[in-house]
Amino acid sequence: MNSNAQSYDAIILGGGAGGLFCAITAAKRGKKVLVLEKSNKLGKKILMSGGGRCNFTNQFINPHNFLSQNSHFCKSALSQYSAQDFISMVEAHNIEYEERKHGQLFCINSAKDIVEMLVTECEKYNVTIITNASTSSIEYSDRKYLLETIIETKKNTTNLYTQSNKLIIATGALSVPTLGGSGFGYDIAKQFQLEVTNLQAGLVPFIFTDQIKNICENLSGVSHNVEVTCNETTFSEDILFTHRGLSGPVILQISNYWYLGDSISINLMPSVSLSNHIKDIKKTSPKLLLKSILSNMMPKALVAELENLFWMELANKPIGEWSNIQIEELGNTLNNWILKPSSTEGYRTAEVTMGGVNTDYISSKSMEVKNQQGLYFIGEVLDVTGHLGGFNFQWAWASAYAAGNDL
């Protein structure tokens, strides 16, 4: 290691949501902070989130909205820094935002507003930020972290040597490699003998390879409000049919509870017992076709595909000529349509990575590694995954705040 290494109170790897917010929190307390970001731009994932509007938090943050091997781990950080704390910061920067359903808060203008807010705060408190910076080695010696970082610009490549008593890993995870997703944080964890739990893509669409794929292709772009259940967990939201399978908010949510080989149950009319409803119509309007009845309740294109799948032989038979048993069987099928995804779309489109650095090794109060002084992990690299709807951003802010206040 170069003896001319530049010294900082804290070095943060990663210039995303967690890294920048941790830098601000520490710098506000007078710390000399360096942020090293490997890509050419800060907050890439923020900029792409929420359709470019950034769902930056949720009004209804609750530990139950987070998945981890240790369900209690997230509680301390979430209590230290609340959604309202972040909203106050957004309001102080005069960023216009709106509340959508389920308490989700989005920028009205652009996700750029959030990145600019974070960068402005970093500048205000003299945080040093270097982009295009790939850290090639980390050594721990004499209670100091010694880093060698390669800085690549179009003009030249230089080596930067830095040192600090505090090193914060805010490198994100495997999701969306095009936005900088990588396993670098896990490599660092393993270097310091920390366990990484099983990893899988989360908040991600499903792919089908059976006959359902053709149905999804035919319905590509069609959406409908449904209830989806998997492994005793249920969400109600819109489903979206795609060329490859199923997406939409309800599918992204349930994907966090799905494992390879599992089936999912889709209730196409969550608030209605279809068998009872159809039997009632049989009494009052026996000449109607089932297709006509269901087309008042769900998209016609979806009804046409369901007809091909489930009642082709009875398609032209008025509902008055169906037996009650036939109606009950079909109604129950549509209220509990069992499908078996072949896979998810994987990390390419996943919003988050399930699993991460095992939280048993981490202090829930400060995010510091229990048996490795001065080393911290925050955000998505940890085994904490939020539901869709601003929860993962709130985990980034809260875990960053907890660490930043300990530096």
Residues 216, 108 share a domain: no
pLDDT at 259: 97
Q: Using the 3D structure, point to which of 344, 365, 389 is the last residue of a domain.
A: 344
Q: Is the pLDDT of residue 2 over 70?
A: no
Q: Using the 3D structure, point to which of 344, 369, 386 is the last residue of a domain.
A: 344
> Are 297 and 263 in contact, with CB atoms under 8 Å apart?
no
Domain containing 236 equals: 206-344
Residues 289, 153 share a domain: no
Residues 217, 185 share a domain: no
CA gap 356, 351 in Å, rounded:
14
Residues 151, 171 share a domain: yes
Q: Is the pLDDT of residue 373 over 90?
A: yes
Look up residue 152 and give its two tokens: 């690549």
Residues 144, 250 share a domain: no
Q: Is the pLDDT of residue 393 over 80?
A: yes
In this prediction, residue 178 has a pLDDT band, given cuts at 50, 70 and 90, of confident
For the chain, how many helices (H) and strands (E)? Answer: 13, 23
Q: Is the pLDDT of residue 1 over 60?
A: no
pLDDT at 4: 84
Each residue's pLDDT tens digit, 97-130: 999 999 999 999 999 999 999 999 999 999 999 9
Residues 215, 181 share a domain: no
Residues 164, 19 share a domain: yes
* Run of H or E including 75: helix 74-80
pTM: 0.96
Each residue's pLDDT tens digit, 304-328: 999 999 999 999 999 999 999 999 9
Each residue's pLDDT tens digit, 38-91: 999 999 999 999 999 999 999 999 999 999 999 999 999 999 999 999 999 999
pLDDT at 334: 98
Residues 338, 222 share a domain: yes
| Residue range 221-241: mean pLDDT, rounded | 98
Locate all alpha helices (DSSP H) within 206-365, ordered by sequence.
211-218, 249-255, 274-284, 290-295, 300-310, 324-335
Q: How many structural domains compose the chain?
A: 2
Supply the CATH number for residue 277's domain: 2.40.30.10
Q: How far is CA 142 from CA 166, 194, 373, 406, in A?
A: 12, 20, 11, 20
pLDDT at 3: 65
In a domain, 242, yes or no: yes
pLDDT at 274: 98
Phi-psi region of 239 (alpha: psi -120 to 50; beta: other; left: phi over 0): beta
Going by the DSSP 8-state scheme, the letter that residue 5 receives in this structure is P
Each residue's pLDDT tens digit, 324-351: 999 999 999 999 999 999 999 999 999 9
Q: How far is CA 369 from CA 136, 235, 373, 405, in A?
A: 21, 35, 7, 15
Q: Using the 3D structure, point to which of 313, 344, 375 is the last residue of a domain.
A: 344
